[in-house]
Amino acid sequence: MERALQVLNSLEQEGTISHYAIAGAMGATFYAEPLLTFDLDIIVLLPQTKSGLLTLSPLYKALRARGYTEEGECVLIEGIPVQFLPAYNALLEEALREARTMPYEMTTTRVLRLEHLLAICVQTGRGKDRERVRILREQAQIDDSYLFEILHRHRLEETWKIWTT
């Protein structure tokens, strides 16, 4: 995975992506025991096109030029399936802005804060997200006041209450 993160860092340095952070189950492993996952979810800010639309095309083109291939909704980077998810709403944009810089082996990367990972799980609302919330609540140290601010800002308090009571 380290080599895949190095590729992401270089894509950011060259401007193909504006900003990125690890999300999903792989992001959760920075805070708790590893969860079963098959890909690396990356939340990205993409440079805007002249038309103002966001597109993954320049990113995929840059990765193809480096010899990486698409596999379903992922790009296989150094043997790791990587799924790029544009920051498409206010919660994801905030999560990306507030991401923490963390080491992975000898490589620096950014990971969404635990509290944002939890809020995104609530917003997404799948069964596996509910299970991830349960596991993270048991294993990780959550900043409850920060989490509740996020849940309030993004109108997710009611779902959180349903999921956690």
CATH number at residue 87: 3.30.460
| The pair of three-digit structure tokens given for residue 144, joined into one six-digit string | 């409850």
Give dist(CA 121, CA 136) in Å, integer. Answer: 11
> Domain limits at 57?
2-164
Task: Note the pLDDT of residue 33.
Answer: 82
Q: What is the number of domains present in the chain? A: 1
Nearest to 6 by CA among 113, 106, 112: 106
Q: Give the closest residue to 19 by CA, choosing from 89, 99, 77.
A: 99
Residue by residue, pLDDT tens for the chain (165 residues) are: 899 999 999 999 998 998 999 999 899 999 988 766 788 999 998 877 777 777 888 899 999 999 999 999 999 999 999 999 999 899 999 999 999 999 999 999 999 999 999 999 999 999 999 999 999 999 999 999 999 999 999 999 999 999 998
Interatomic CA distance for residues 73 and 7, integer angstroms: 18
Number of C-beta neighbours around residue 160 at 10 A: 19
Q: What are the pLDDT digits (tens) for 19-42?
A: 999 999 899 999 988 766 788 999
